[in-house]
Homo-oligomer: A and B are copies of this chain.
């Protein structure tokens, strides 16, 4: 491919930011396993994160991609790295209880002059298992592993102009996905047939903005199942008198724009109208609070206090940062809109504002992906914010 999503300057700027933070923390090297961080630093893009792999960064030179030998070809195809910065371990290390690939990484650290270094690792990441940590540590000798969970993720918080343009492309795609739901959903339609149409819309994309796979598949529970936030789909027919929420994302070049809307087939009970109205009002207040200089917790407080005043309670966070992601999460896992989070909002930050309410007999999700601008929060999508009522 070598059709890298960003120019050399942008990758250089990213390395610079990460290295500055490494210096602050006294790290000689950083080994990232989060596929989003690997991609953000080098361009690497492949579904190979089910085996152990990562990117090693020191204070100078290009990063080193390390992974399964067969995936080295993918690193050659998708990163700006020269072949001597792409290191593969042989296939006998793959899913083999008798030997762990991290032994080869420890050897690589040694070869790179890191035998006594302080090396940051992402201790709380899906792709750095407990066994990986212990195997790496066992092979290390005098080097020290330091927890650097989310060090790189934090550097991704403020988006560049190109990143924002990709998220706006993803926004166009998710608008089209929601338009597909409005157009196609009707009582009796099998849920999976509607999901098939949503997938088709998302991957086709909008004009030249082709659709990539989202880091989370569509979540689309109906009725009582919608009291739970993370159920997916089956072939049950859509029913009159039931709500279904669709938490879905448009995705362009691995950048996400998630957005949820709730469909109600038939006459909407007053209870749902009241809840939706309260969420809308609290959302407006929450979004108004999402201004540069405000803290993450200010947004949560503005939203939650209005919601409580209107008679509703939500005990989970109401937003998290988004951008470049790989499964299983489209969030960046740094700040959250919740009490106690004192992170200061800056222009260029992007969030999924997530004022979902799960009621006792169903769920309501009407969410927005937002960009913090000098003038406050800007919604990335124009999808109508009301309940989708049909049938």
Contacts and interface: CB of A to CB of B under 8 A. Distances in A.
A130 B126 contact: no
B90 A315 contact: yes
A198 to B, nearest CB: 9
Given A317-B91, A333-B95, A232 B204 contact: no
A48 B217 CA distance: 11
Interface in A230-252: 230-235
A211 B228 contact: no
Contacts of A231: 1, 45-47, 74, 77-78
A227 to B, nearest CB: 5
A219 B47 contact: yes
A137 B345 CA distance: 35
Contacts of A45: 231-232
24 contacts: A3-B234, A47-B217, A47-B230, A47-B328, A49-B328, A50-B216, A70-B228, A70-B229, A70-B316, A71-B229, A74-B229, A76-B228, A91-B317, A91-B338, A92-B340, A97-B150, A98-B340, A123-B131, A124-B130, A128-B129, A129-B129, A191-B210, A192-B204, A199-B200
A57 to B, nearest CB: 19
Contacts of A327: 327-328
A104 to B, nearest CB: 15
A353 to B, nearest CB: 16
A315 B125 CA distance: 30
Interface of A: 1, 3, 45-50, 69-71, 73-74, 76-78, 90-92, 94-98, 100, 121, 123-134, 147, 149-150, 190-193, 195-197, 199-205, 208, 210-213, 216-217, 219, 224-225, 227-235, 315-317, 320, 327-329, 331, 333, 336, 338, 340, 358
A232 B94 CA distance: 21
Nearest to A320: B95
Nearest to A78: B231
A310 B190 CA distance: 50
**Interface of chain A: mostly helix, strand, loop or mixed:** loop
Contacts of A71: 228-230
A329 B74 CA distance: 18
A98 to B, nearest CB: 8
Nearest to A232: B47
A239 to B, nearest CB: 14
A208 B233 CA distance: 14
A227 B76 CA distance: 10
* 8 pairs of A and B residues whose beta carbons are closest in the complex: A130-B133, A210-B235, A124-B131, A74-B228, A50-B329, A73-B228, A196-B203, A123-B131
Contact of A338 (B92, B126, B212, B328): B92
